[in-house]
Amino acid sequence: MSATTLFTAGRAGRRRLATRQRLGLGLLGLLLAIAWLTPWLHDADPARQQLVRILELPSLVAPLGTDHLGRDLLARTAAALRLSLGMALLSVISAAVPGILLGVIAGWRGGWVDRVLGSLADACLALPGLLLVLLLVAIAPGNFWALYVGIALVLWIEYFRVVRARTRVLVASPQLQASRLLGFGPGYLFRRHLWPELAPQVLTLAAFGAASAILAMAALGFVSVGLRPPTAELGLMMTELLPYYHEAPWAMAQPILALCLLVLSLNLLAGKDPR
């Protein structure tokens, strides 16, 4: 597991990125720019319908064309990207923070604490991830928060497992014992001993986690149990545009391409699979 790191420490101690990771970072930067700069440069409401201009080809007025309800596709794709990225960030943070915290506690304390937390993680794993999200969405239909809590609930286990395994090894190691004998407290031990070992793996997991959160949301949107129209969301846009595939293939290609690139950039950034 130590061979898979998001950042490779350079000889001079600086953190260097591999070529593929740089590529991923560049692609992600580009998508971020499209998502957040579009509202400034292109003044169009993603929800405004103009039924006289449906399925138009790209033009100066609508650079990426319009959809079946005459809504501006550039504005919609950008809005969907913003939603996906915001969602990914939110679910990664809310999965990583409890995952790391509980992982460190379980690995450090061992004993019954470890067993209880381990069983909890196993219980969450017993249900397929998407099913758990579906369950929550069924309880609160069309709610952004239900979706996000569900995805976080599925994703925290990975962080928990990785962090717990590494912490267990480190807690038993001479370096931690030496620092403890020298009178250092838990905060110091975490900062100087645990975090430098955990960070590369956690960051790799975070990049993968962001990609799977985005995919999960799009998948739910595609089967129409995620967010409700007229929200611009990648999966929802694909479902809406599917019937017009023959008339306007360029329209349907846009959410698909956006999703592909987004997931690709995050996977490139993550480096190798840590599992």
Partner 1 sequence: MSDSLLEVSALTIRGEGVTIAPVDFSLARGGRLTLLGETGSGKSLIAQAIMGTLPKGLSARGELTIEGDGFAAAEGAARRALWGRRLALLPQEPWHALDPTMRAGAQVAESHRYLRGLGRRRAREAALHDLAGLGLAGAEARLPGELSGGMAQRVAFAAASAGGAPIVIADEPTKGLDAPRRDAVVKLLAGTPERGGALLTITHDIEVARRLGGEVIVLRQGRVVERGPAEQLLSAPRSDYTRQLLDAEPARWPAPPPPPATAEEPVVEARGLAKWRGGRELFCDLDLSLRPGEIVGVVGPSGCGKSTLGDLLLGLAERDCGEIWRAPGQRLAFQKLYQDPPAAFSPHWTLARLLEDLVRRHRLDRDAIAPLMARLGLDPALLARRPGEISGGELQRFAILRVLLMEPRFLFADEPTSRLDPITQRDTLALLVELARERHCAVMLVSHDPALIERVCDQRLVLGGEEAERVPEDLAALAV
Helix (H) or strand (E) holding 103: helix 73-109
- Token reading at 66: 């319009």
Residue of the chain from 93, 138, 178, 257 that contacts partner 1 (CB under 8 A): 178
HSE, CB side, 13 Å, CA atoms: give it for residue 221: 29
Interface with partner 1, residue 177, by CB under 8 A: yes
Assess 119 for contact with partner 1 (CB under 8 A). no
Q: Which is nearer to partner 1, 145 or 188 (CB)?
A: 188
The yes or no reply on residue 187 touching partner 1 (CB under 8 A) is: no
Output 36 or 188, the one with its CB closest to partner 1.
188
Question: In whole angstroms, how close is the CB of 181 to partner 1 at the nearest point?
Answer: 6
Span interacting with partner 1, options 30-38, 98-106, 173-181, 225-233, rule CB under 8 A = 173-181
| Distance from C-alpha of 70 to C-alpha of 56, rounded to nearest angstrom | 8
Positive or negative, the CA dihedral 215, 220, 226, 231 is positive
Q: Please choose, from the candidates 236, 231, 238, the residue with its C-alpha nearest in 3D space to the C-alpha of residue 252.
A: 238
Question: Does 183 interact with partner 1 (rule: CB under 8 A)?
Answer: yes
Q: What are phi and psi of 185, to 5 degrees?
A: -90, 180
149 token code pair:
């809590």
Residues counted in the chain: 275
Q: How far is the CB of 175 from partner 1 (least distance, A)?
A: 5
Least distance in angstroms from the C-beta of 182 to partner 1: 6
15: which strand partners? Answer: 9
Query: Angle of helix 73-109 relative to helix 249-270, nearest 10 degrees?
Result: 30
Structure tokens belonging to residue 16: 């260097």
Stretches 114-122, 143-151, 176-184, 259-267: which one binds partner 1 (CB under 8 A)? 176-184
**136-165 footprint of partner 1 as x/- string (CB under 8 A):** ------------------------------
Beta carbon nearer to partner 1, 111 or 183: 183
Query: Rule CB under 8 A: is residue 12 a binding residue for partner 1?
Result: no
- If binding is defined by CB under 8 A, does position 13 make contact with partner 1? yes
Please give the distance of CA 64 from its chain centroid, rounded to a whole number.
Answer: 26
Sign of the Cα pseudo-torsion (90, 115, 199, 213, in order): negative
29 or 196, CB closer to partner 1?
196
- Distance, CA of 130 to CA of 201 (rounded, Å): 24
When binding is defined by CB under 8 A, the residue of 4, 179, 239, 267 that contacts partner 1 is 179
Total residues contacting partner 1 by CB under 8 A comes to: 16
d(CA 15, CA 193): 18
The yes or no reply on residue 166 touching partner 1 (CB under 8 A) is no
Q: Which of residues 190-219 bind partner 1 (CB under 8 A)?
A: 192-193, 196-197
Q: Footprint of partner 1 on this chain (CB under 8 A)? A: 13, 173-175, 177-179, 181-184, 188, 192-193, 196-197
